[in-house]
Structure 1
Amino acid sequence: MSLDSTARKPQDRLAALLAEDLDRVNTLIRERMASRHAPRIPEVTAHLVEAGGKRLRPMLVLAAARLCGYTGAHHLRLAATVEFIHTATLLHDDVVDESRQRRGRPTANLLWDNKSSVLVGDYLFARAFQLMVETGSLEVLDILSNAAATIAEGEVLQLQAARNLATTEETYLQVVRGKTAALFSAATEAGGVIADAPEDVRRALFAYGDALGIAFQIADDLLDFRGDATATGKNVGDDFRERKLTLPIIKAVARADAEERAFWTRVIETGDQRDGDLDHALELMDRHGTLAATRDEAMAWAARAREALGAVPPHEFRDILGEISDYVVARLS
């Protein structure tokens, strides 16, 4: 999911405050995605890294470090680290999902091939670990390496749960915590750790990132049914067509009668989708209020993210981070 931008948006105000740091992070990213021997690596990486993403995850690292009073340079390496991890997971995800579009552009696996996407993703993971080590912090290495493992675990869990109507909301939340929230919470926590923040502040930053990531993903899943393709970079109903069991569908299946369940079995488990099925799915979700219920859950997680910041000392960055938690769900209204 991309965050559309105007000067009024909180992430753009944050980017303006962090402009110098972000310039240095972008320079570092370009340096480290280079390869003397395999020119396809920077080609594939640049296709995603320079595709107009908002650098939200790197900004979370930088903001967390700055609000904790950090004045060194290791936060730049950590910001580049999370961007590389994020880009690597996108490359791998697009292969697994057989995606053809990301951020409104053709995916790397479509422009090149699956082998290139997988191998360049592996390269970026390796570069990420090199950057982590350069900080000299075993605690940071522990946080980010655990996040990388959790992301992979979440993706495998999602693969196991995919197209299985027995998938519960609890399993969905585990998947979301793995594939999205783990990197958000690692970014904010690592920023606090590199700044040597007190333990209670580190825990608060972790809790903020965790809740923000969950709100972010739930909102993304809802926007697949109610979003604007020009803003999200996805066509409305892409998750449905790909037979993904996201929260709105899981809630609808849980409330379905026998006839409705037969419909969900046909379109999700069997994959027999016909003209008009998306409209009928939306009708069922509206009938049972699952889109509204999903929106409520996203809003609740965003509120939890803002509340977590109560343990963080007052700072301009803290205020904007709170506004970002509100913004990721404001577009759902």
Structure 2
Amino acid sequence: MGTTKPHERLSDLLASELAQVNRLIAERMASEHAPRIPEVSAHLIDAGGKRLRPMLTLAAARLFGYDGPYHIHLAATVEFIHTATLLHDDVVDQSGQRRGRPTANLLWDNKSSVLVGDYLFARSFQLMVETGSLRVLDILSNASATIAEGEVLQLTASQSLATGESTYLQIVRGKTAALFAAATQSGAVIANAPEADIAALYTYGDALGISFQIVDDVLDYWGSNATGKNIGDDFRERKLTLPVIKAVAKADAEQRAFWARVIEKGDQRPGDLEHALDLLDRHRALDDTRAEALLWADRAKDALQGLPDHELRRVLRDIADFVVERVS
């Protein structure tokens, strides 16, 4: 039986290039003097992630017939940036599980995770420079800064009930969508695609990344093997994600006091997660959040309409549907 999931179809279409990306990743995460670097890097990079972001870069370049070597560099760059942010995130969030496995900071220590993340960031910039494209360097370096900015904004905003949907969207655009958008945009740029198509792929990546993160925030309360996390991790980490923002907006005084206690004050007691789930259900917060994810997935698909008629375009469209099907 053939594969049916769109990211698996995309992987099949890009198999030879993905193999080159994986070889380049293995080569560049090596270290002659610090063996812990490849140990920690491989723990996360080889943990069964879908390689979705690097595949988006490869697909964007292939859409426009690119036959040079540098989309491989860009795909590896995107994966290194992504891995570096995950290593840092798990330290910040004090997470114990990622992709269904113990986190690197749990198996080694926080210092190793932070420093190896820094190493991968540095490696990503070396790969960018090798493309010889200042525009690509501009796109990916800006994305790296935006990701860090989004994470810092989340630190200050995600434990305040005053945080609304516009700030949440700003956080998501930073911490998640920026890299999706840079992945698709840089692939189109390296292939010398028309400016309108480069803009369309940026819009696609941005909307896809927002939808992806919104779905992850729903799954944190609905539960799924898709995230490799435990139900309620965001609740325990006191993250004010979109489902909670929507529930707070409809809360009465008693309910708002509950959210203030568990999110703002961090005073969480036995049964609080169950009560939070009840409130989310009572106010249809998860259903409404899922509807937002569907809207962003539709925006992603709409952005593809003017691109060349190609099998890869159809798979990219299906990926937008697949992202939200995780909460169907």
Same fold (TM over 0.5): yes
Match of 1:177 among 157, 173, 177: 173
2:304 is paired with a residue whose SS is: helix
- Partners of 2:152 and 2:306 in 1: CA distance: 34
Q: CA deviation at 1:232?
A: 2.3
- Partners of 2:70 and 2:227 in 1: CA distance: 32
Match of 1:269 among 257, 260, 264: 264
Q: CA deviation at 1:279?
A: 1.4
List gaps (5 residues or longer) in structure 2: none
- Partners of 1:143 and 1:183 in 2: CA distance: 10
Q: CA deviation at 1:282?
A: 1.2
Q: Is the 8 A contact 2:31 2:37 kept in 1?
A: yes
2:149 partner amino acid: E
Q: CA deviation at 1:123?
A: 0.4
Q: Which residue of 2 aligns with 1:71?
A: 67
- Partners of 2:248 and 2:257 in 1: CA distance: 10
Q: Is the 8 A contact 2:185 2:202 kept in 1?
A: yes
Q: Which residue of 2 aligns with 1:322?
A: 317
1:52 is paired with a residue whose SS is: coil
The 4+ residue runs of structure 1 with deviation greater than 2 A are none
- Partners of 1:242 and 1:143 in 2: CA distance: 31
Matched, 1:260 2:255: yes
Q: Is the 8 A contact 2:221 2:231 kept in 1?
A: yes
Q: Is the 8 A contact 2:177 2:205 kept in 1?
A: yes
* Deviation per residue, 1:35-58 (Å, 9 max, x gap): 011010000000000001010000
Matched, 1:236 2:231: yes
| TM-score with structure 1 setting the length | 0.97
Q: CA deviation at 1:278?
A: 1.2
Match of 1:8 among 4, 7, 28: 4
Match of 2:16 among 16, 20, 34: 20
- Partners of 1:278 and 1:320 in 2: CA distance: 38
1:232 is paired with a residue whose SS is: coil
List gaps (5 residues or longer) in structure 1: 1-5
Match of 2:163 among 148, 164, 167: 167
Q: Which residue of 1 aligns with 2:120?
A: 124
| TM-score with structure 2 setting the length | 0.98
CA root-mean-square deviation: 0.8
Q: Which residue of 2 aligns with 1:224?
A: 220
Q: Which residue of 2 aligns with 1:107?
A: 103
Q: Which residue of 2 aligns with 1:158?
A: 154
2:20 partner amino acid: R
- Partners of 1:159 and 1:279 in 2: CA distance: 25
- Partners of 2:64 and 2:223 in 1: CA distance: 36
Q: Which residue of 2 aligns with 1:60?
A: 56
Residue identity (%): 73
Q: CA deviation at 1:224?
A: 0.5
Q: CA deviation at 1:280?
A: 1.0
2:208 partner amino acid: L
- Partners of 1:25 and 1:282 in 2: CA distance: 41
